[in-house]
Amino acid sequence: MSGPQRGYCLIVNNFDFSRSSPKLSNRTGTEVDEESLRCVFTWLGFQVEVVQDATSAKMLSSMEELASRDHRRMDCFACVVLSHGLEGGVYGVDGGVVRLEKLKRYVDGEQCSSLRGKPKLFFIQACQGNKEEQAVPVPADGPVNPEVPAQTDGPSSSGDIRSDVASAIVSIPISADFLTAMATTPSCVSLRDRKKGTWFIQSLCEKLKLLVPRNRDLLSILTEVNNDVSQMSDPNSSNMRQMPQPIHTLRMSVFFPVPEKPPRSLPTSSSPGSVPNPIGQLVHYIAQYLGCSIL
């Protein structure tokens, strides 16, 4: 990515489901995810816009409005949805279901010409069903992440093929250049800590902060997220696990330019009343870039 602007990042954060039908629980802890995402994507150079407690209609209208803008100077587009969900869809706070394919259609190659050939990145923090991912034993070659208490984010034409022909117009499929990073696999629940946020989003933010400065591409970063989340466990259910799933039609690797400054520290990462140490933050950032650790 080398354009003058990274792009828009739309964050849809649905917390209050008190008036939903069917009845869904409020998503305590999602505010931590929102703040982490806002911090990291701003650091990466995105223009972040947040929509809170969106109905199904508001989710669609927000995407439609963003898609109608001029993206010619932008490198890409990103959308993060934090909500309850089911396989292939997410819930608005009214209980209405928005199909992910419909959400993505607003920015495909047909509907949004100024994003043609550019990455469209979707990160979906929601359940895809009620099934619990189970653990199976594997040989251990590293430490397992600390256990954290969790909640779930789900509801209680045929023709000849011609090649080697020169053409004056380069064309690509309408569905090209999409990445959809799901918090979990089909039919399964995703897990959320009421105080620390969701496993998937928190791992995503940490891995972006760690690996973008090391010039790692997005798919390899998401593979690290997969590994990280797969080792987490719920202390209330020792056999419950979560497996994120990136799905993509990208035609090239996605690298974010390394920001000149380290990401802003989040309030939750400091002890109450502590004063941030900018020198320490800079040293830590340089160590990340060089692949070193600080003891």
Q: Indicate if the pLDDT at residue 160 is higher than 50.
A: no
Catalytic residues, which ones? 84, 127
The bridge status of strand 245-248 relative to strand 178-182 is antiparallel
Instruction: Find the helix or strand (DSSP H, E) in which 227 lies.
Output: helix 218-230
pLDDT 10s digits, 170-188: 688 999 999 999 999 998 9
What is the pLDDT at residue 172? 85
Q: Indicate if the pLDDT at residue 162 is higher than 60.
A: no
The pLDDT confidence band at residue 152, using thresholds 50, 70 and 90, is low
What is the pLDDT at residue 271? 32
What is the pLDDT at residue 274? 34
**Residue 235 φ/ψ region, left for φ over 0, alpha for ψ in the -120 to 50 degree band, beta for the rest:** alpha
- Angstrom distances, CA of residue 252 to CA of 117, 179, 183, 208, 215: 10, 11, 23, 18, 15
What is the pLDDT at residue 144? 42
Nearest-angstrom CA–CA distance, 28 and 44: 27
- Kindly state the tokens that stand for 291: 């692949």
What is the pLDDT at residue 132? 74
The CATH code that applies to domain 7-154+172-260 is 3.40.50.1460
What is the pLDDT at residue 130? 81
The pLDDT confidence band at residue 2, using thresholds 50, 70 and 90, is confident
Q: Indicate if the pLDDT at residue 217 is higher than 90.
A: yes
What is the pLDDT at residue 147? 46
Question: For the residues 76-95, what does the mean pLDDT come to?
Answer: 97
pLDDT 10s digits, 88-125: 999 999 999 999 999 999 999 999 999 999 999 999 99
Which of 2-16, 92-106, 123-137, 197-211 shows the lowest per-residue confidence on average (mean pLDDT)? 123-137
Query: Alpha-carbon torsion 73, 203, 184, 245, what sign?
Result: positive
